[in-house]
């Protein structure tokens, strides 16, 4: 299977549609019907993306987005909000809560799949950049440690022999270069 997507949606038809659509495009979809289970299921499933309904009973998608973004293990997981209530300012509030994507219902199948692909691609690029930055941050430390080790080796050879820098009193050649 492909990348893993957690789908948090209380409407059974929408949940089935989203999961079927994602599976048809090669993703592994994990349905969550009750938002109160979303954070625990995200920890267990470790998704590459969360598709989050905003209007749900018991807990709102906005609250769940904020909880996930505050969670050390989940904060880097991109979230795409899906909502039928697209009033003025809603998208801004949803993005302020931490969602990286936003799709309004009724969804366009093409737009939905494109949004999923774009978010996953962007998340992968961010992860690669973070890994490269971490690697380059480690390199100067490693190079410095190698240089120190090299200097120590030059200063005190392991076999007790004089170093290349010290004068050898028993040099078989005399001063005019003859043995």
Q: How many domains does the chain have?
A: 1
CA separation for the pair 125, 127 (Å, rounded) = 5
Please tell me the number of Cα atoms within 13 Å of 4 on its side-chain side. 11
In a domain, 64, yes or no: yes
pLDDT exceeds cutoff 70 at 36? yes
Tokens of 28: 């592994």
In a domain, 161, yes or no: no
What percent of the chain has a predicted confidence (pLDDT) above 90?
A: 60
pLDDT digits (tens, 9 = 90+) for 62-121: 999 999 999 999 999 999 999 887 677 888 899 999 999 999 888 999 999 999 999 999
In a domain, 94, yes or no: yes
CA separation for the pair 14, 53 (Å, rounded) = 10
pLDDT at res. 144: 57
CB 97 within 8 Å of CB 66: yes
Question: What pTM does this model have?
Answer: 0.74
Q: What's phi and psi for 49, nearest 5 deg? A: -155, 150
CATH code where residue 112 lies: 3.40.50.2300
- Residue 95 belongs to what domain range? 4-129
Helices within the chain (DSSP H only): 12-24, 38-45, 61-70, 90-97, 109-155
pLDDT digits (tens, 9 = 90+) for 124-164: 998 888 888 888 877 655 555 565 655 554 554 455 444 44
In a domain, 13, yes or no: yes
């Amino acid at each position: 299977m492909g990348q893993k997507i957690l789908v948090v949606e209380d409407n059974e038809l929408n949940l089935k549609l989203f999961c079927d659509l994602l599976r048809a495009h090669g993703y592994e979809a994990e349905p969550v019907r009750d938002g109160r289970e979303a954070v625990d299921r995200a920890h267990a499933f470790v998704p590459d993306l969360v598709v989050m309904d905003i209007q749900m009973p018991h807990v709102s998608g906005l609250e769940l987005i904020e909880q996930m973004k505050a969670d050390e293990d989940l904060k880097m997981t991109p979230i795409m909000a899906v909502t039928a209530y697209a009033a003025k300012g809603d998208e801004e509030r949803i993005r302020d809560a931490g969602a990286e994507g936003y799709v309004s219902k009724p969804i366009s199948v093409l737009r939905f799949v494109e949004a999923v692909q774009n978010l996953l691609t962007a998340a992968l690029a961010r992860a690669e950049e973070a890994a490269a930055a971490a690697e380059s941050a480690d390199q100067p430390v490693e190079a410095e440690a190698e240089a120190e080790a090299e200097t120590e080796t030059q200063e005190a050879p392991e076999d007790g022999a004089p170093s290349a820098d010290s004068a050898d009193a028993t040099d078989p050649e005399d001063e005019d270069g003859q043995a």
